[in-house]
Amino acid sequence: MDSKRFYSKTILFFAAVLISSASQAVSFYKDKHNANLLFSDFQVGKVAEVAGGYNDRVSSVYVPADKCLIMYEHGNFEGRSLMVEPLSVTTGGPYPEVTSYNMYQGDGLKYIAFASQMDLALGYFNDKMTSYIIFEAYPLGFPGSGGPTGQSKGCDVAFLYKNINRGGGLYPVPVDHIQAEIKKFNDVASSVWVPQGTCLKVWKDKPPASQQENPTAYYNWYAAPDRVFSPGTHNLHTLNPSLNDRVTGAELVPGNCP
């Protein structure tokens, strides 16, 4: 093989790798229709406050089919929230290409946008994002969730609802992200929905101290949740004792419930 052909193939290979990698990033844009990229994030995890002057500047997002995104109105995951779930994961559509999204918005409505991008004006979230969480989505066949419709696939996330029978406003609780004190939704939930393959732990009181301040007190609190919910829908007023309007903390964990 001559050197020109070798270098051409090498360049094409690395270009393909870069394109493939870029498609797996969650990307945030200044304008609608994915125009004017602000930044991209390849990592699964949480960002308590966006840096670089990007607070309240995001108007559209791209979420690859192996990721899920929850955006929050304020720092430290407080205020209104908006979850974006690639619809191709929950319907068996193209993978990893994304053709449309589910959008779970804080007033209990679910939006479906048939586009390769998600314009946040659809969820009344234009120029409002300050913090966010990125977590894994699971393709068909994985014993995960798929949102409140109950498919065995999609984003592993539980929902707290303001009213019984999954009614009213909702609050998402992503897997493996403990929320020791759910501000803005504290003592509000009347029902919960838990995805397959997971368990939802809830506490009616916040921890007596943070993990950093008093590790022993924190771990004693963590080890004794007031209730552990198995997959399905649960109305909190039917419990004995009732937990209606009493949930303060929550954590969704993978695996079988005790």
Q: Domains of the chain: which residue ranges? A: 24-151, 156-258
Number of C-beta neighbours around residue 223 at 10 A: 7
Q: Do the domains 24-151 and 156-258 sit in the same CATH topology, yes or no?
A: yes
Give ∠ CA 64-103-59 in degrees, rounded to 5. 75
Q: What is the pLDDT along the chain (258 residues), one digit of tens a residue?
A: 554 443 444 433 333 333 344 458 899 999 988 899 999 999 888 898 998 899 999 998 988 877 888 888 888 887 777 888 776 544 444 333 445 666 666 544 455 555 556 788 777 789 999 999 888 776 443 333 443 443 434 677 888 888 898 877 778 888 777 888 887 788 899 999 888 788 999 999 999 988 889 999 999 999 999 999 998 899 999 999 999 999 999 998 888 887
Assign domain 156-258 to its CATH architecture.
Answer: Sandwich (2.60)
Tell me how far apart the terminal alpha carbons of the chain are, to the nearest angstrom: 62
How many residues can be counted in the chain? 258
CATH for the 24-151 domain, from 1.10.10.10, 2.60.20.10, 3.10.20.30, 3.40.50.300: 2.60.20.10
Contact (CB, 8 A) for 130 and 75 = yes
